[in-house]
Amino acid sequence: MARRTLTIEDKLDALLGRVTREEYNKGFKTVKKRKTKAEKLAEKRIDAAYRATCSGIQINILDIPKVFDEGQKWLDANPNLTDDALAAAIRAYVETIRMN
């Protein structure tokens, strides 16, 4: 959602009580979705697999979310994926983006 710029009229309307707080804040606040237990568990599994197999491999810091997305893609495709298979899939992806 794009943020809109407040005008002086918007601020005056809020101060004078012509609009409610909800109307004033509409378009400004973004609510962050909370993670479910399953999402947290999947994230922990991906993190553990990444740390176990890719520790010491130099990659660009901007590629770290891509590694987690790759792990999530594998878990979405097969929820019963073992930790060793997940680690192998993540390692194969990291080999394609490694810097050294």
The pLDDT of residue 8 is 73
Q: Which residue has the higher pLDDT, 49 or 32?
A: 49
Where exactly are the structural domains of the chain? 1-32, 37-97
* 56 dihedral zone (left: phi>0; alpha: psi -120 to 50; beta): left
Q: What is the chain's mean pLDDT, rounded?
A: 84
* Mean pLDDT in residue range 14-20: 68
Reported for 55-58, long-range contacts at CB under 8 A and 24+ positions apart, including other chains, are 57/94, 57/98, 57/100, 58/98, 58/99, 58/100
Query: What Cα–Cα distance (Å) separates residue 11 from each residue in 1, 2, 8, 26, 52?
Result: 21, 19, 5, 13, 53
Is a pLDDT exceeding 80 seen at residue 10? no
